[in-house]
Every structure is written in structure tokens, then in C-alpha cells.
């Protein structure tokens, strides 16, 4: 929506274990299990005009990630809401990306769970601005093998596979890696994937092989409201390559078109009409939310 904010807006702010401070000054002990093992979960929540968007589903997914990884939830939903709202408020009225992380805590290095308190870290940064070029020309993606583990529905910080897969895309001059497991699309390295075939919007079904994106869910609802046929079913590698449109969604990207895949044009090689309809519907919703 807007990322200019007022001149008094803080661009970045962190909160760690009870204290607000600049992100560069936030430190954790080296024995924190988030650092040692990637033993942690996280969320990324967009805030439009300083207001947290779709917070409740993000908190539900956080609770689910904590349950799967058996990390105790250190806060009630109300406490999370109070903390994140205060963090966003202190930053001002610009569009923000709120990051929160819960680690299993600090303990002598041993794989088994220690008896310790979770570490909580949060930060706000400006939401990345989506450029006119991204909207007019779309993104490029490569396809690659999904080399990740089998609990991709848990939003854990153990992201080395995602990091390597994204870098593979960057090394190939592309923006995103679209992942394939047993010949089927799972998701992007940091996004969910949609295709349009014959006017129908299709996204892989939510299971353990992909993150149940909050934006994905919202896009499905918006598509239904717009009268677009939507299906959650497997997408083969061949269908991906033959799709009329390909899109990726996330809390920081909303929904963006992919117009080049493995060096070839997707459909006509330009952002497609179904993407445009969804983008406009999503932007209208965000605008109305910010104006409330």
C-alpha cells in the first residue's frame, strides 16, 4: 500500500525477551538452540498502514508449528497480539513485515529437549515494495527437486534447504525456485504456487509437503468470491510447464505472476488475466483494511 510512512516512523525495531531495541543490537547466547540446531519456529506477518493483516490465522499456524515441534507456546494469543501490535505501533503507519521467532531456548548442547524457557524474538522491517517491473513483466522461476524434509507444513527456521534452493534460482538469474517432489509441484522456496489451466486456478493440496500459506488461503477465498473456478489438487511438472499462468503467493509478495519458467515464457510470457483479477482483489482488500 504505502511504504513512505511519516518522517517520524521507525524503519526497524526489534523485541527480545522483554526489551525493545534496534535489530542490530539484539543478541542471543551462542548456546541458544535456535542458533545451534535451528530448533525454532517463526512467522512473518504483514502490517498494512501499521495494522496487522490476518493476524489470527498467523497465530493459529504458529501454535500448530509449536505443537508439531513440541516447543511450548510462551504466550497466549492475546499476549502475542499485544506485543506485535505494540511493535508495529512503535514503528508507525507504514507497511511493515513483522517477524517473530520462538526457539526452544538456551541449554548445553544436547539433541534431546532440555528443560528450559523458550526464547522469543520479534522484529519489524518495512514490507518490501513490489516494483512496477515485477507487476508489468512478472517474475522468473526455475524448477528444481524439492530436497527438504517431510514436515514442510511446520514453519521452522531450519531453512538451509530453502536457502540453497533460492540461491540455485538466483544463480540461474531467476527470482524463485518452484519445487518438485516425485514429479509434482509442492511450493516455491519461500512461496506457494498457483497455476491457471483453461481458466481454472489450481494449487497443490495442503499436506505435509508444503506450508499452508496464509496468503494462499486468502487467495483461494478471494478467487471463489470472484467467481473463478478453484481446485486444490496435485500439479504435475508437465502441467506446470504447459500452464496458461503461474503465480506465487506469500505474505511479503501477496500474489505475483511468474512469466518465465526454466528460461521459457509461461503462456504468452506476460502477467495473465486471472493473476490480474486476483492481484486487484487482494490490493482492494488490503487498502480497505488499511483504511479501517
- Tell me the catalytic residues: 155
Q: Which is nearer to ligand PDD, 41 or 107 (CB)?
A: 41
Query: Which conformational region is residue 131 in: left (phi greater than 0), alpha (psi within -120 to 50 degrees), or beta?
Result: beta
Q: Which is nearer to ligand PDD, 207 or 263 (CB)?
A: 207
Mapped onto helix, strand or coil, the DSSP state of residue 77 is helix
- Closest contact distance (angstroms) between CB of 126 and ligand PDD is 14
* Angle separating helix axes 214-225 and 273-291, nearest 10 degrees: 110
- Closest contact distance (angstroms) between CB of 216 and ligand PDD is 6
Q: Which is nearer to ligand PDD, 80 or 107 (CB)?
A: 80
- Closest contact distance (angstroms) between CB of 197 and ligand PDD is 21
CB-side exposure of 12: number of CA atoms within 13 Å?
Answer: 7
Q: What share of the chain is helix, strand, coil (3-state, %, to 5)?
A: 30, 30, 40
Q: Which is nearer to ligand PDD, 65 or 259 (CB)?
A: 65
227 DSSP assignment: T
Rounded to whole angstroms, the Cα distance separating 267 from 261 reads 10
Rounded to whole angstroms, the Cα distance separating 58 from 85 reads 14
Rounded to whole angstroms, the Cα distance separating 33 from 277 reads 44
Beta strands in the chain (DSSP E): 13-16, 19-21, 40-48, 51-52, 96-103, 119-126, 139-145, 176-181, 184-188, 192-197, 200-203, 230-232, 245-250, 254-261, 264-265
Q: Which is nearer to ligand PDD, 118 or 213 (CB)?
A: 213
Q: Which is nearer to ligand PDD, 29 or 128 (CB)?
A: 128
H or E segment and range at residue 115? none
- Closest contact distance (angstroms) between CB of 32 and ligand PDD is 19
Q: Which residues bind ligand PDD (CB under 6 A)?
A: 44, 162, 187, 190-192, 211, 213-216, 249-252
- Closest contact distance (angstroms) between CB of 58 and ligand PDD is 7
Within 10 A of 65 (CB to CB), how many other CB atoms are there? 23
- Closest contact distance (angstroms) between CB of 162 and ligand PDD is 6
Amino acid at each position: 500500500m504505502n511504504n513512505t510512512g511519516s518522517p517520524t516512523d521507525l524503519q526497524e525495531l526489534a523485541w527480545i525477551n522483554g526489551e525493545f531495541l534496534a535489530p542490530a543490537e539484539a543478541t542471543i547466547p551462542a548456546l541458544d538452540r535456535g542458533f545451534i540446531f535451528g530448533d525454532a519456529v517463526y512467522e512473518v506477518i504483514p502490517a498494512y498502514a501499521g495494522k496487522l493483516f490476518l493476524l489470527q490465522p498467523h497465530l493459529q499456524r504458529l501454535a500448530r508449528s509449536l505443537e508439531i515441534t513440541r516447543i511450548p507456546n510462551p504466550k497466549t494469543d492475546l499476549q502475542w497480539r499485544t506485543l506485535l501490535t505494540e511493535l508495529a505501533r512503535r514503528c508507525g503507519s507504514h507497511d511493515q513485515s513483522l517477524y517473530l521467532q520462538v526457539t526452544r531456548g538456551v541449554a548445553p548442547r544436547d539433541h534431546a529437549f532440555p528443560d528450559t524457557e523458550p526464547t522469543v524474538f520479534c522484529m519489524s522491517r518495512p514490507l518490501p515494495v513490489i516494483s512496477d517491473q515485477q507487476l508489468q513483466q512478472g517474475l522468473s522461476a526455475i524448477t528444481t527437486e524439492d530436497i527438504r524434509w517431510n514436515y514442510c507444513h511446520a514453519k521452522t527456521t531450519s531453512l538451509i534447504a530453502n536457502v540453497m534452493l533460492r540461491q540455485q534460482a538466483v544463480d540461474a538469474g531467476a527470482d524463485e525456485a518452484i519445487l518438485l517432489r516425485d514429479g509434482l509441484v509442492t511450493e516455491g522456496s519461500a512461496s506457494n504456487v498457483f497455476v491457471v489451466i483453461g481458466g481454472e486456478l489450481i494449487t497443490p493440496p495442503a499436506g505435509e509437503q508444503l506450508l499452508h500459506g496464509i496468503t494462499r488461503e486468502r487467495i483461494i477465498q478471494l478467487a471463489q468470491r470472484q467467481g473463478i473456478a478453484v481446485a486444490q489438487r496435485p500439479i504435475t511438472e508437465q502441467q506446470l510447464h504447459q500452464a496458461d499462468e503461474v503465480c506465487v503467493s506469500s505474505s511479503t509478495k501477496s500474489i505475483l505472476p511468474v512469466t518465465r519458467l526454466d528460461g521459457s515464457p509461461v503462456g504468452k510470457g506476460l502477467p495473465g488475466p486471472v493473476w490480474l483479477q486476483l492481484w486487484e482483489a487482494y490490493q482492494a482488500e488490503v487498502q480497505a483494511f488499511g483504511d479501517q
